[in-house]
Structure 1
Amino acid sequence: MTNQAAIGYPYMANRLFRKKTVAHILSSAQSAKSGELEKVLGVRDLVSLGIAAIVGAGIFSTIGLASFNGGPAVSLLFVFVAVACVFTALSYAQFASTVPVSGSAYTYAYVAFGELFAWIIGWALILEYAVSNMVVAISWSQYFVSMLEGFGIHLPGWLTMAPAYASEAYVKLQEQGIESLTKVEQTAALAYEHAPRIGDIPLIFDLPAGLITFLVTWLVYIGIKESRTASNIMVAIKIGVILFVIFGGVFFVKPENWTPFAPNGVEGVLSGVAAVFFAFIGFDSISTTAEECRNPQRDLPRAMILCLLICAVLYILITLVLTGMVNYTELNVKDPLAFVFEYVGVDYMAGIVSVTSVVAITSALLVFQLAQPRIWMTMSRDGLLWKRFAKIHPTYKTPSFATIITGFMVAIPALFFKMDFFVDLTSVGTFFAFILVCAGVLYMDYSGISNQSRFRVPYINGRYLITLGLLIAIFGIYYYGTDIIEEWRQLTWLDILEHKLLIVIFWLVWGILCVMGYIYRFSLLPVAGILVNLYLMSQLGASNWFIFLVWLGIGLLVYFGYGYKHSKLNKDESAAK
């Protein structure tokens, strides 16, 4: 038994971490002829899809919550997160120009770190795209219901909300009385009270969220050309609305609303990191359309950087305008863009924002519904998922089965869960993917794979700069972070393990990167991407990690139950390295 274990464990480890060559990945994509994907996307289409994905529910809903927690200073958080995303986007761009296939970070991890890491990233991306779309669908429902009410059409409350929200409002009504409830909570409590019942169970669900998900899934199913056209139209409307709010709202800005700039301090600003990061999720999703691009090696890097820069500027401006028009304490609402105009008495502008927001938010839903099936398709090609996920529709040239499954996976939770349950769930897996992509660029530089890239992350020798940055951070905390130092002095080892373990890991990783960066002359920008994403990851709450670990556990069961045995590398060891 001991001898078998001695032989078996190294063999299993080799299989878990076997990597794919770039040449094999490209040849596999080209040989997948069972209904080839259509190559119709250019750089303008990709920028449009990127903006569609990024500027979705984030700017139309979660931006209000982030501003409520952090005050006007949340605009600086947008800058910080945007910088983190630029470092990461550069790394994505290099991988996309080297491995232009639809697997995105999943495929990139396969090249750099091996099969197990690729599976973990692919599984995490499924969570990212699905949860993002659940939030977008619920946000769309809220705007749609608000728009209908503006026209005098009132849907029954039990058809427009999550059962948990209605139940909580009803309990609050019973305990504290109707005077303690907001108008929205009163509606929810009445919905719970008057909903039809099956036995003792009230029949409450968010019908508009489910319907829009199925509608967009159908659009994605029937073809990439149709999806591209719809996306371009909706993005034009979306950008128009945002510019309308910025230039219309600037006349109502009161500078005194920006004081205090950070009313809840640094902690208040950072408490919105999950919501702000959610607002930037999406630039990576366009890499899943690589096999439908006319020139992916040229256009994908350009599109990623352009859409991210455009969206960052829009976010910063819109945050400053919103917090300038009304006090930040008023922004804990579901539709902040419409609310601020109602607040200043310009109801017709609020109406325009509400109507066009319904159309504009749909574009984000469209892009993520495009992305997820293509991740599944690529994993299925590699043998890690069942063959049906790789099936291409003979007429529509889309991954048909994977698209249908995606529709149900998003629609059913969107019918029954609250939005704030989902907002914090995307970030852990996404940060993990971003960190591995940045680290993968360092591996590509070391192994020489970067020489095959048409686009490369600009090289800045980090041999000394990584260490210099660490020293500056330490001295900055020592001289200016007295509150932080005092807090740490009061912590026991148990407190550190329970509440500060991730930030300890962050500093340890930075120290390790200093040593490795000195030895291998690491490029500074990918290292900066690793550190910024790791820091943001360390600020996430326990609920984020719990859900991610549960999801990861399910994924590992699927991998070892099916993917490990059916991996294509089992049949073609020459493709591995």
Structure 2
Amino acid sequence: MKQLFRKKSIEQILSDVQQGFGEGEHGGGLSKELGLLDLTSLGIAAIIGAGIFATIGKASYNGGPAVSLLFIFVAVACIFSALCYAQFASLIPVSGSAYTYSYATFGELVAWIIGWALILEYSVGNIVVAISWSGYFTGFLQGFGIDFPAYLSTNYGGAKEAFEQVSKDLAQGVPLDKISSSLREGYLAWKNAPEMGGLKIILDLPAFLSVVLVSVLAYIGIKESKTASNIMVAVKVIVVILVVLVGMFYVSPKNWSPFAPNGVEGVLQGIAAIFFSYIGFDAISTTAEECKNPQRDLPKAMILSVVISTILYVSLTLVLTGVMNYTQLNSEDPLADMFHFLKMDFLSGIVAVSAVFAMTSVLLVFQLGQPRIWMTMSRDGLMPPVFAKIHPRFHTPSFATIIAGLLVALPTPFINIDFVVDLTSIGTLFAFVLVCGGVLILQNTAKGREQIEKARFKVPYFNAKFIVPVLFVVGFALAWLWNTEPMKDFFTFSNTFRIETLQKELTAKQTELAQNETNEIKMAITTLQETLKAEQEKTALKLFFERLPLWIFLVVSLVMSWLSWQKNLSLIPVLGLLVNFYLMSEIGIANWIGFVVWLALGLIFYFNYGYKKSHLSQNRN
């Protein structure tokens, strides 16, 4: 058992990098090309994707202009994790990111688990990005009157589901033009797709090609990749600034009143989506070995990328909610709606271009990150040595980059985006939890404190002794005050409040149907009836199982409050750990099960290969 948690000292990690363990590394190592500006650009590239436009719109619709404050609050919470990453990046400037940090603090088994989990963030996450990129790209082409065949820009599973759903709606008398555009496109893709041997030929070709092209760019060099990233980031930042500058002249302060029309509860509805809009800054830590001065520049770049993104997010939110009433912003593309509202439709094309650039830059950063994590794991013996092979001319992890490209490109044309999006989130948050926990371990061991003294950047220390327990009590009290009935249900393993709410919604819809009989209302009633029936059939055991992640979070919060009181823990990593764990608990038990299954597959590989081949098991010094 002790061997499973064997740790690799920071000195040994740095020594291995200098010696270049791994097949082919003696050919020249990675090229040091990245300065502070490049790293900050990569951070912004990873954070600001085109999806943020829809996130701002939906969050503003629920919370009103006060969502701008939520962006600031979430940024502060995100910076807790960024500061912990920054300290490790300064202390261990190695491309393994959270994997390497965990190896030094938690041991080999935990390091392997987080390395395996990061495949969800980078490779599986990039499948989501590529599919989204395809949607923005085909939409951009449509703006020029170019219609890309739907069966060549839709995934097979999604088209099949859409066809079945729309066929059911059509049978109930719902007109095709009244069905949502996404379902309609999937239906038409399936209906019009050519067949070969009885099999529909449906694939997302733009998504596939985007991954191939970005992987080629990542393969041929970090210098070329940084140049492309800098250009794409400049374009999307300029567009956001342009939107803010144009929009500010049309802001009507009366749209900011009421500032929080749906109260605190309405504002907080968007907290998870907004937090995920900041995820990505950690990816730049995978380029540590390609930085000119990683101990100095990586910490600064992480913080700067979060701060700059926050300024852009808040400015954009205030302009959107100032130009249009928040009730008009429940849209997938609120910026296009704003320009249409201002009768400036010609500017929508510029936003469409920036959306394509935004998604491409995210794709590039994550395609850079995955191979470098595999390269580091290979150095440690946990992956086959060929993954550490460095191309003698391009100075990139060549084999790992090819495999990362194939891992993303091959399933992308066929996979359903909903299947992987939450798995991506839980893998990322798990990495954040372990990095924050790793900082706490360093701060509370004698050897760890010695190592911290060598770091160029240190997480500021604030005593959590009183603050964390007080925050726990106050947070619990406010949750009870604002959500008394749901809290009662939580602790009594009941769902009475949920059932009563659904019954009220159903009654309201039935009353609405009596006054105005439409197919949309009929469909809404059918959905409510099915949901209500499912809730009524749930047992106390099933409800407990569904809420298990939240129960685990509650226990972890109690333990961290007690440890903060007993050991005077550092406030920032404690808060970072708790915030990320809370967001993990909100993802839902079904995705936790998927995450556990994914980790189980990883452990099978570890015990059959990594455990035996680990350099630590071979006593390699």
Which AA in structure 2 matches 1:509? V
**1:124 has 2:117 as partner:** yes
Change (3 A) 1:385 1:266: farther
User: Which residue of 42, 48, 52 maps to 1:49?
Assistant: 42
CA distance in 2, matches of 1:126, 1:234: 25
**1:546 has 2:593 as partner:** yes
- Give the equivalent residue in structure 1 for 2:577: 530
* Shift of residue 69, structure 1, vs aligned partner: 6.0
- Give the equivalent residue in structure 2 for 1:404: 402
- Give the equivalent residue in structure 2 for 1:279: 277
8 Å CA contact 1:516, 1:522 repeated in 2: yes
CA distance in 2, matches of 1:164, 1:324: 40
* Shift of residue 333, structure 1, vs aligned partner: 4.7
**1:82 has 2:75 as partner:** yes
**Deviations along 1:285-317, whole A, 9 cap, x unmatched?**
100000001111111111101101111222233
Change (3 A) 1:475 1:153: closer
CA distance in 2, matches of 1:254, 1:544: 42
- Give the equivalent residue in structure 2 for 1:512: 559
User: Which residue of 170, 189, 192 maps to 1:191?
Assistant: 189
CA distance in 2, matches of 1:162, 1:326: 35
TM (norm. structure 1) is 0.91
User: Which residue of 468, 471, 477 maps to 2:470?
Assistant: 468
**Deviations along 1:123-158, whole A, 9 cap, x unmatched?**
111110123322222222122112211112111111
8 Å CA contact 2:63, 2:261 repeated in 1: yes
CA distance in 2, matches of 1:264, 1:405: 48
* Shift of residue 421, structure 1, vs aligned partner: 3.4
Which AA in structure 2 matches 1:371? G
**1:290 has 2:288 as partner:** yes
Which AA in structure 2 matches 1:534? F
Change (3 A) 1:408 1:562: same
> Which secondary structure does the structure 2 equivalent of 1:570 belong to?
coil
Which AA in structure 1 matches 2:5? F
User: Which residue of 355, 358, 369 maps to 1:357?
Assistant: 355
CA distance in 2, matches of 1:41, 1:198: 49
* Shift of residue 553, structure 1, vs aligned partner: 1.4
Deviates most, 177-186 or 230-239: 177-186
- Give the equivalent residue in structure 2 for 1:366: 364
Which AA in structure 2 matches 1:31? Q
Deviates most, 29-38 or 260-269: 260-269
- Give the equivalent residue in structure 2 for 1:5: none
> Which secondary structure does the structure 2 equivalent of 1:355 belong to?
helix
CA distance in 2, matches of 1:139, 1:63: 17
Gaps of 5+ in 1: 1-12
- Give the equivalent residue in structure 2 for 1:8: none
* Shift of residue 388, structure 1, vs aligned partner: 1.1
> Which secondary structure does the structure 2 equivalent of 1:170 belong to?
helix
Deviates most, 356-365 or 558-567: 356-365
8 Å CA contact 1:506, 1:535 repeated in 2: yes
Change (3 A) 1:513 1:185: closer
> Which secondary structure does the structure 2 equivalent of 1:426 belong to?
helix
CA distance in 2, matches of 1:132, 1:270: 25
CA distance in 2, matches of 1:263, 1:420: 31
Alignment of 1:142-541 (within 5 A): 142-176=135-169, 177-253=175-251, 272-326=270-324, 331=329, 333-447=331-445, 448=449, 449-488=451-490, 490-492=492-494, 494=541, 497-541=544-588
**Deviations along 1:79-132, whole A, 9 cap, x unmatched?**
343222100111111111111100000000000100010011111111101233
CA distance in 2, matches of 1:363, 1:303: 17
Which AA in structure 2 matches 1:17? F
Gaps of 5+ in 2: 170-174, 495-539
* Shift of residue 478, structure 1, vs aligned partner: 4.8
**1:94 has 2:92 as partner:** no
CA distance in 2, matches of 1:551, 1:203: 29
Which AA in structure 2 matches 1:305? I
8 Å CA contact 1:278, 1:423 repeated in 2: no
* Shift of residue 265, structure 1, vs aligned partner: 6.9
What is the identity percentage for the equivalent residue pairs of Structure 1 and Structure 2?
Answer: 55
CA distance in 1, matches of 2:320, 2:421: 21
Which AA in structure 1 matches 2:112? W
CA distance in 1, matches of 2:146, 2:72: 40
8 Å CA contact 2:549, 2:589 repeated in 1: no
> Which secondary structure does the structure 1 equivalent of 2:362 belong to?
helix
CA distance in 1, matches of 2:63, 2:241: 23
TM (norm. structure 2) is 0.85
Deviates most, 315-324 or 374-383: 315-324
Change (3 A) 1:365 1:61: farther
CA distance in 1, matches of 2:385, 2:216: 22
**1:59 has 2:61 as partner:** no
Deviates most, 486-495 or 394-403: 486-495
Which AA in structure 2 matches 1:533? N
8 Å CA contact 1:427, 1:544 repeated in 2: no
8 Å CA contact 2:64, 2:267 repeated in 1: yes
**Deviations along 1:167-198, whole A, 9 cap, x unmatched?**
33333432324143134443332222111112
8 Å CA contact 2:125, 2:421 repeated in 1: yes
Which AA in structure 1 matches 2:493? L
Q: Provide the aligned C-alpha RMSD in A.
A: 2.5
CA distance in 1, matches of 2:607, 2:278: 33
CA distance in 2, matches of 1:483, 1:72: 28
8 Å CA contact 1:173, 1:180 repeated in 2: no
- Give the equivalent residue in structure 2 for 1:7: none
CA distance in 1, matches of 2:414, 2:74: 31
**Deviations along 1:340-387, whole A, 9 cap, x unmatched?**
323543210101111232223211111111111100100111111111
Which AA in structure 2 matches 1:362? T
**1:107 has 2:100 as partner:** yes
**Deviations along 1:462-516, whole A, 9 cap, x unmatched?**
2222222223223434555434443335535636622332222222222222322
- Give the equivalent residue in structure 1 for 2:536: none
Change (3 A) 1:160 1:544: same
Change (3 A) 1:61 1:425: farther
CA distance in 1, matches of 2:66, 2:208: 35
CA distance in 1, matches of 2:482, 2:142: 51
Change (3 A) 1:416 1:270: farther
Deviates most, 80-89 or 291-300: 80-89
